[in-house]
Structure 1
Amino acid sequence: MPPPDVNKTHEDAVGSLKNPLKFLDQDYQTLHQSLLSKKMQFSDESFPANRSSIGTGLLSDKVMAQVKWKRPSEIVLYRPCLVVDGVSRFDYAQGSKLGDCWFLASIGAVSSQMDIMDQVIPAEQSFSKGYAGIFHFMFWRFGKWIDVVIDDQLPTINNRLIFVSSKIATEFWPALLEKAYAKVCGSFADLHGGFVSEALIDFTGGVHMHFDIKEAPANLWNMMESAFKSKTLMGCSTPRGATFQNTVLPNGIVEGHAYTVTGVCQVTTKEPVRLVRMFNPWGKGEWTGDWSDRSPLWKTVSANDNKNCLSVADNGEFWMSMEDYTKSFKTMDICCLSPDFLNGSSKCSWSSQYHIGQWTTETAGGIRAIWKNPQFRVRIEKPGEDCAGGECPENILVSLMQNHENRRRKQLPHLFIGFFVYEIPPEASKN
């Protein structure tokens, strides 16, 4: 078949960062100006402050009856703020009522990249100048950037937020960002359970790499080190326990839980030791084994390594050796705007493109009739001398995602999908 058209988003095209799609046809600027002129506060009918937005199966009827939706000015005594002293992974703590650690772990990764956070949280929003109870956030969904409008009414019990909250009482960016993502996914209940990779992609539009740690390549730590140096986002998850609960093990690791990889470094004691730094989106609860905050092993490293790496605080962040990391965690996700870091050379750069196809009754051939499936032809150029010998000498990275028509995330069927890569022989490449 002939090669398909390559889809590339131009800077000003609909669905680009400069011209995002308006989610549910809500235009933030138009709504904001209308509210200011009428001196009104926004109430979002498309994601109302009631039971439907929380969703089903998350809270019992008894707990739901206690929920009251309040604006930040009704929750705190002093003037609320969207952001206080910048955005940080240490700002927030996961709520006890919602299992969206996968989403919050991805925020932990993204919050250290201010260029990305500035895209996700558009500027010139506040609770003072131009305040009208309306905010908006940006997410990347299946090839397009979307602008999501919300009101600032948040679910509370006894005047406390029941989902994510900031450790600074007057700061509300975590709660509002979580609400905007819940709106995209259908409800707060639709955020209960997921994969770090989902949110990392939705925050960045980046290319996703997934590893089963037990089957990961031998050079995984080198890959992680290169990714960290290039400010690439990383997250990981622990295996589920027998009870499928977030049980805290004696070593401090939580079963069935998502974490953020926030650092990779090598220190020297009697011999070099490779370390990985992790962040628990609960905002507390840490590994207690070797290289934890109070481990005596830190006394064996140089003063410089100790100063650069160690921070003793119960903030959910900790170090552990690569060996303990591979024993404690099951899967790992890397999300990059460009996989340049795989080459280990600043002189190398990857080009990217995406193709859109679909499986229908006629085209979903499966393995037995794979020739019926959508096919895309890609020309792989030979790497130059500067790029040779990197972590990805094959020179191609394929990332596949599935777009559904149903907005409700929890109602989406878990379809098994995949792809095959075939080499086209030279004699057939001209056909």
Structure 2
Amino acid sequence: MTILDMEIPKKKLFEDPGFPASSTSLFSNYSTPIAKFRSKITWLRPQEISRSPRLFPENPQDGKIKQGLLGDCWFLCACEALRKNRQLLDKVIPPDQDLWTQSGYLRCRFWKFGQWVEVIIDDRLPCISRRLCFSRCRSEEVFWLPLLEKAYAKLHGCYEKLWAGQVCEALVDITGGLADRWTLKCYRENNEKNSHFCLSEKSKFELMKDLNDKSFISCSVHGSAKGSSERAEFHAFSVTDVKQVNGLNGTYVNLLKIRNMWDRQCWNGSWQAGGDGWKTLDPAITTALQSAAEDGEFWVEEHEFFQDFDELTVGYPINMEGHILSLLTGKSLRHTLQLSGQWVKGLSAGGCRNNSSFCANPKFWLRILDPGEVVLTILQKKHDSSNRNDKACWSEKAAMHCQNIEEDLTTDVRQQKRYRAIGLHVWKVEKKRFNLQKTVAKTPTISTECHTYDREVKLHCDLTPGYYLVIPSTFMKDEDGHFLLRAFSTSKISLSVVKATHPFTQLEENSEGEWEIMQFTDSWISGKSAGGSRNFPTYSTNPHLPFSILSETGIGNVRITLCQESVDGQFLPIGFHVYQAHGKNLNQASPQLLQPVVACVPHRYIQEMTQLCTLPTGNYEIIPSTYLPNSEAQFTVTVETKIDRKPFQSQENLGQTINEVSYTSVMQRSKNKSCLRTGRYFKESASLHTVMDKEPINLLLL
């Protein structure tokens, strides 16, 4: 046998042992309608499905999203945000992976509880009859969407765990930012304010019109509506356009273009094809609008929209620098901080203000240095309820709508998630040392209206300079849980943990004192902000991060940490210098000519480097850098400043012990004994003596 006669072995493609091509990656308990297809599902690679597979399309229309058999419209709607923001898409699916078909694996990234995590998958995808059975792009030669869906399924444990969810949660997972849900029913009834913030100056439609090109908007329905019998229940849609057009007789008509992820028409209201609504427009305008609606898209008039849709989800815009923008003002919330915390049973799980143990909850100092717009959020980790008997189950009718299945199903569609009812209270404190008992007895400066079973709750407000006491809590006491406190502001802020002793114990002096924390997240971008070290003339283009020392607190009063994100598992050589700014700002033109007051060098191939230093009162700037110019990476700089405030004792007694009362709102069970998971709210009255029940929320979307 000659060499020519020998069969040359093919390179083995990657097979992910952590997420194999088997039922364990598809199902958790066979509780959803996709279980009936388990014997028909096979796993194929893109080159076995398409003749010319590619990750991204040349024509953007070919990359449009289509939903398959899986009830994950909530995730797919959020993926529309990636199609509108290429910079964000590159964050989630790092570029330079065009050769993935030759290796068989792909890298994706998701934001999870405060940090970006990388998920590596192989490219074997679930198929039925050699076609993708879950999500796909309009062109079946484009695979960015089904591969990203697989990575998200791996992050959650399996595909079945993606069945039903909230668009706002998926938006946060793929952007690392913020998203708001607006309940439209309370506006129809015109008797309640939105629980997050009040739109006093702009109508909801005007705000959507302003945000249309900057952000992502989704709408959803929770049940059948008059005039839309073909529309599924518990389903999410994306809002693709918002327009105000001239009507006949000098009137204006406000229209929204809605897209169904099933890529088919599902609307028979007055603005359906041939509907009476079009008669109010000039025929030329009608033709232009109808031709702009592609498969699965339909137009709805403003009044009809607010009448028939139940909920709106809006993602906070993200600018080219990666900073989150305010939904209301458009200002950059460029100062961001986050701290993790924990509610521990019997120690720091004090419950809501109805409980005398409220002050046992974790406490934080928020310091506002300049007047500004602030968003505070508490994000909780999912609580495992797999062994509990109080799981909520899903509407079988909703499941059948989502897959267009006609026959009855006997398996309950069980909810995969459980969260605590959480809330957030903030008080402004005029002095560094104060009476905790008197403070929490007062009305908070700002607080959530009620405790809700959301993964994340938010406060959106304008705050004046000073110190604020922030207390996150669960509604019931002694509920364990981990949470992440996040702060976004247009002005400089600091965030630190209040170090307090255990209740009913003697206050002890902490020799280390307290530290305020300021955190900056930024990037070195080639040709813009990746100037390299002081050896290079482009050094001044590196990011300049300002901070201030307001009081003398002794030796070792500042700790600075630079942490970089890895690129393909590799680290760049990094370092930083600190300069004193004698005026308002450092000389941006030639900082390398100045003498730094702190130099954390030489540049090292390391993920994180820390320098403890002593700095007098004044204004300073940190310039982090890579050794060579045009080296790209994202980084975080944390500045910890020792302060002279002593910790205080957290012993607190609100007086009379108030019994906890809770009411659970449960939807009426359907004929087959299935019920819809409801989100419960608990509202605290001003007197702290009454617990009010509100309408169920958190209906998960299929």
- Tell me which interval the TM-score lies in, with the shorter structure as reference length: 0.7 to 0.9
1:214 CA displacement: 2.2
Question: What residue identity is the alignment partner of 1:113?
Answer: N
Question: What residue identity is the alignment partner of 1:66?
Answer: K
Question: What residue identity is the alignment partner of 1:365?
Answer: G
Structure 2 counterpart of 1:399, from 373, 377, 381: 377
Partner residue of 2:607?
none
Structure 2 counterpart of 1:416, from 417, 421, 428: 421
Secondary structure class of the residue paired with 1:397: strand
Structure 1 counterpart of 2:238, from 260, 278, 287: 260
Confirm or deny: 8 A CA contact 2:181 2:312 kept in the other structure.
yes
State yes or no: 1:339 paired with 2:325: yes
Query: Given the superposition, is the C-alpha separation of residues 157 and 65 from structure 1 closer, same or farther in structure 2, using an over 3 Å criterion?
Result: same
- 1:402-424: CA deviations, max 9, x gaps? 12486999654332122123333
Query: Matches of 1:305 and 1:146 in 2, distance apart?
Result: 47
Structure 2 counterpart of 1:182, from 144, 149, 153: 153
Partner residue of 1:21?
none
Question: What residue identity is the alignment partner of 1:64?
Answer: R
Query: Matches of 1:146 and 1:248 in 2, distance apart?
Result: 44
Question: What residue identity is the alignment partner of 2:329?
Answer: N
Question: What residue identity is the alignment partner of 1:221?
Answer: F
- 1:192-225: CA deviations, max 9, x gaps? 0000011111111112222111234552223222
State yes or no: 1:377 paired with 2:357: no
Query: Given the superposition, is the C-alpha separation of residues 130 and 92 from structure 1 closer, same or farther in structure 2, using an over 3 Å criterion?
Result: closer
Of all paired residues, the percent bearing the same amino acid is 32
Give the 5 Å matches for 1:255-404: 255-269=233-247, 270-292=250-272, 294-295=274-275, 297-298=277-278, 300-301=280-281, 309-311=289-291, 313-336=293-316, 337=318, 338-343=324-329, 351-361=335-345, 362-367=347-352, 368=355, 369-380=357-368, 395-404=373-382
1:38 CA displacement: 8.6
Q: How many residues end up aligned between the 2 structures? A: 374
Query: Matches of 1:89 and 1:75 in 2, distance apart?
Result: 16
Query: Matches of 1:377 and 1:307 in 2, distance apart?
Result: 58
Secondary structure class of the residue paired with 2:109: strand
Partner residue of 2:68?
95
Partner residue of 1:158?
129
Query: Given the superposition, is the C-alpha separation of residues 233 and 91 from structure 1 closer, same or farther in structure 2, using an over 3 Å criterion?
Result: closer
- 1:62-117: CA deviations, max 9, x gaps? 631222111122223x1222222255586232112x10010111112331222212
State yes or no: 1:71 paired with 2:57: no
Secondary structure class of the residue paired with 1:311: helix
Q: In angstroms, what is the RMSD of aligned CA positions?
A: 3.2
State yes or no: 1:54 paired with 2:26: yes
Which piece of structure 1 moves more, 185-194 or 62-71?
62-71
- 1:249-276: CA deviations, max 9, x gaps? 6454332101112222212213222222
State yes or no: 1:209 paired with 2:189: no
Query: Given the superposition, is the C-alpha separation of residues 352 and 61 from structure 1 closer, same or farther in structure 2, using an over 3 Å criterion?
Result: closer
Query: Matches of 1:251 and 1:382 in 2, distance apart?
Result: 53
Question: What residue identity is the alignment partner of 2:265?
Answer: G
Query: Given the superposition, is the C-alpha separation of residues 381 and 60 from structure 1 closer, same or farther in structure 2, using an over 3 Å criterion?
Result: closer
- 1:305-356: CA deviations, max 9, x gaps? 6577543555222221221111122122222132334115x6x655332232
Question: What residue identity is the alignment partner of 1:360?
Answer: V
Query: Given the superposition, is the C-alpha separation of residues 421 and 331 from structure 1 closer, same or farther in structure 2, using an over 3 Å criterion?
Result: farther
Confirm or deny: 8 A CA contact 1:108 1:279 kept in the other structure.
no
Query: Given the superposition, is the C-alpha separation of residues 210 and 281 from structure 1 closer, same or farther in structure 2, using an over 3 Å criterion?
Result: same
Query: Given the superposition, is the C-alpha separation of residues 311 and 396 from structure 1 closer, same or farther in structure 2, using an over 3 Å criterion?
Result: farther
Structure 1 counterpart of 2:219, from 236, 249, 258: 236
Query: Given the superposition, is the C-alpha separation of residues 171 and 376 from structure 1 closer, same or farther in structure 2, using an over 3 Å criterion?
Result: same
Structure 1 counterpart of 2:206, from 208, 219, 222: 222
Structure 2 counterpart of 1:121, from 83, 93, 103: 93
Structure 1 counterpart of 2:138, from 155, 159, 167: 167
| Bigger share in helix | 1
Query: Matches of 1:164 and 1:130 in 2, distance apart?
Result: 19
Query: Matches of 1:286 and 1:73 in 2, distance apart?
Result: 33
Unaligned 5+ runs, structure 1: 1-36, 242-246, 385-394
Query: Matches of 1:343 and 1:60 in 2, distance apart?
Result: 44
Q: Which has the greater radius of gyration?
A: 2
Query: Given the superposition, is the C-alpha separation of residues 178 and 60 from structure 1 closer, same or farther in structure 2, using an over 3 Å criterion?
Result: closer
Query: Matches of 1:399 and 1:419 in 2, distance apart?
Result: 8
Confirm or deny: 8 A CA contact 2:383 2:419 kept in the other structure.
no
Partner residue of 1:82?
55
Q: TM-score, normalised by structure 2?
A: 0.49
| Bigger share in strand | 2
1:301 CA displacement: 4.0
